[in-house]
Amino acid sequence: MTTPTLQIQPQQIPLPLEPTVTLEDLFGRVFRRLSVRRPPPAFRVEYRPFANLRSTVHLRDNCAVVHISDLLEKAPPIVTEALAEILLAQLFRRRPSREARACYLAYVMNPAVRRHIEESRRRRGRKRLLPAKGRHYDLEEVFAKLNRRFFRGELVPPRLGWSPTRSRTVLGHYDSAHRMIIISRALDSPKVSRHLVEYLVFHEMLHIRHPVERDGHRRVVHSREFREAERKFPRFEQARRELKLICP
């Protein structure tokens, strides 16, 4: 005859929970940590459905109004606190800590988070651009030529087009969410050399091959590999000099 054993289930002792910290409390705590020599403002913080990862802060009558992209609504509290430090440092002319910048970048550069951000950007944002074939240059033809010569035809062609405005400050842009290369319409001109147009398209193609990286607390848009590849463009220095004549 066997003696039955008594199975005792271990009890889980609930840990005391901290009171819920509001966004306003969190920003107030970060403000005190920054040691700003002024009375603390009131805080009004809310999430907004921005088309991108935009967050803003404005001071109005001693009330700091903070709008955070709702794409960050599910971020861990430590990430929200890091963002609070970055925004308040910007507002009160302080330098955010490397730890805050590294924490925030580590989160937003996470591949799963990046996919979520870009999906939301495609769903919410709209991009306006003119056809790739302009009056003087055809961007699709330029892309195809550069793709064969420098990338062995491996780059999947994105959507290409000229910008609606003749910007001389932003001459080229690659939008990874919408997979677009946009070149300023100011360059679709007989006064602009084909060589310069090809260089700008090549530069944006390198953004496809070498995406944005994170180096600790820094966001690296043009990595060392990017710069080395860019210098392989024929007459690279000449193209850079031509750029300075357009946007000094």
Looking at residue 192, its pLDDT comes to 93
Give dist(CA 111, CA 173) in Å, integer.
22
Half-sphere exposure of residue 10, counting CA atoms within 13 Å on the CB side? Answer: 3
Other Cβ atoms within 10 Å of 207 Cβ, number: 18
Residue whose C-alpha is closest to residue 219's, from 109, 143, 56: 109
Which residues are paired to 183 by β-bridges?
A: 162, 172
Over residues 50-107, the pLDDT tens digits come to 878 889 999 999 999 999 999 999 999 999 999 999 999 999 999 999 999 999 999 9
Question: Do 77 and 46 belong to one domain?
Answer: yes
Residue 65 within any structural domain of the chain: yes
Structural domain contains residue 7? no
**CATH classification of the domain holding 189:** 3.30.2010.10
What value does the mean pLDDT take over residues 198-215? 93
Q: Cα 150–152–242 angle (5° rounding)?
A: 15
Answer whether residue 222 shows pLDDT above 90.
yes
Q: What range does the domain containing 194 cover? A: 139-246
Share of the chain above pLDDT 90, in %: 69
Q: How many CB atoms lie within 10 A of CB 48?
A: 13
- Total domains in the chain come to 2
Q: Give residue 210's pLDDT band: very low, low, confident or very high (50, 70, 90).
A: very high
Q: pLDDT tens-digit profile of 132-155?
A: 999 999 999 999 999 999 999 999
Count of C-beta atoms within a 10 Å radius of residue 195: 13
